[in-house]
Amino acid sequence: MPDRDRRTVRDLRRGNRSGLLRHLYFEGPLSRQELSQDTGLSPASVSNVVGELLGAGIVTEAGAVESDGGRPRILLKVDPGHAHLVGVDVGETRVRVELFDLGLAELAKAEYPLTPGDYAVEPIVGHILAGLDAVVAESRADPATVIGVGVGVPGTVEQGPEVLVHGQTIGWDAVPLGRLLGAGTSFPLFIDNGATTLGQAELWFGAGRGASNAVVALIGSGVGASIIADGAPYRGASSSAGEWGHTVVRVGGRRCRCGALGCLEAYVGAEAVIERYGKEVAPDEETVLEALIKTAECEPEARRVLEETALYLGAGISDLINLFNPERIILGGWAGLLLGGRLLPEIRAAAAAYTLRHPFEQTTIELCHLGPDAVAMGAATLPLAHFLATGGAPEPSPRARVRAGGAVRASTRVTHGLTNS
């Protein structure tokens, strides 16, 4: 069985390389000795892997630190300029395309407004492809260094042999988005739900850093959630888990955009809050909701609508805590940040009133750190996750590929289970 043995050794080496790269990415700069201590790999194995990563240009030296008595230790970090990533946010009001370096610093951005209520697939595909050309040109990045394009979309993304998007509230019925985009670009594509991608960004770089069990609750016009269980996104049988907005808070209640009655989204989504106040929903919901929050300082009816919103939101959050026992609930999305910025104490109080005491005491409820526009950055974490999981290995084929989202274990903690080789 020499073949099997060789494969096993190769797999171990790949696992070591991936684990070390991931640790260095999130915790670096680190010395070889620290890498050995943190990962449990022997100094010789670390030296081998680091040699490979330096040789490939993925890792670079980042100065030196004094060591007690001995020679100064060289620090290492992942070179942010080694590769580029693109993130695409297909939102309710616009398509945004952003190009990042490997450290997720934004280098270029393109934006295409959408007419609210009009989500025809073909123009959106056109915007994304035009945006790819635009950001590559603006950043002057060598296209060969773009290691992938992450796309965050509304709705459920079914990751089968063909990636299909089921966006019931925007009229997308099994849209083969991967195939449509793949016809116009040769960059590797990674497609996932926008809330899931933002959840991954918050978990890695924002309010969720260090948590293994968290829920990122997102409120815009619509309402969704990204559930992180044991460091990885929880998806369910066909990737639709996290449709928190369509859990029922009032049997027989207001009509939701999905057609059902009494969904959470029909009470706390931006559109719903504005309608409950008796206002017309204007194209610029953000301005209208901001004005409503300001009005509530002196007008009882606006205040009543907001207080009721805090109750529904708290009740919805209590469902998340009772079901998933998270360490953290992270509230975001543009409307979530507006409402949470004004109502967080009331939301916490309502959640406390509806949640079992013990799990509530284990949970904090806080606001997203990355701001409301981080979906494109979140989408860029999809190719980044692939890069880290494969140890930064080059792609085997230059043809267009579509991969399952970023369902890669997202823990930023010390990587265990590495094996010396």
Q: Please check whether residue 85 is in contact with residue 147, taking contact to mean a CB–CB distance below 8 angstroms.
A: yes
Alpha-carbon 94 to chain mean position = 18
Tokens linked to 224: 């969704």
Give the residue among 238, 179, 100, 126 at the shortest CA–CA distance from 401: 179
Whole-angstrom CA distances from 101 to 84, 276, 382 are 5, 43, 14
The minimum distance between CB 265 and Zn ion, in angstroms, equals 5
Which of the 8 DSSP states describes residue 168? G
The minimum distance between CB 258 and Zn ion, in angstroms, equals 3
* Residue 166 vs 179, nearer CB to Zn ion: 166
Euclidean distance between CA atoms 369 and 376, whole angstroms: 15
The minimum distance between CB 247 and Zn ion, in angstroms, equals 8
* Residue 130 vs 258, nearer CB to Zn ion: 258
Q: Please check whether residue 254 is in contact with residue 270, taking contact to mean a CB–CB distance below 8 angstroms.
A: no
Residue 131, SS3 per DSSP:
helix
* Residue 120 vs 260, nearer CB to Zn ion: 260
The minimum distance between CB 365 and Zn ion, in angstroms, equals 23
Tokens linked to 104: 């997720």
Partners of 191 in the β-ladder? 151, 404
* Max Cα–Cα distance, the chain, nearest Å: 79
The minimum distance between CB 306 and Zn ion, in angstroms, equals 21
Instruction: Please state whether the peptide bond connecting residue 29 to the residue before it is cis, i.e. omega within 30 degrees of 0.
Output: yes
The minimum distance between CB 243 and Zn ion, in angstroms, equals 8
* Residue 228 vs 263, nearer CB to Zn ion: 263
Interface residues toward Zn ion, by CB under 5 A: 246, 256, 258, 260, 263
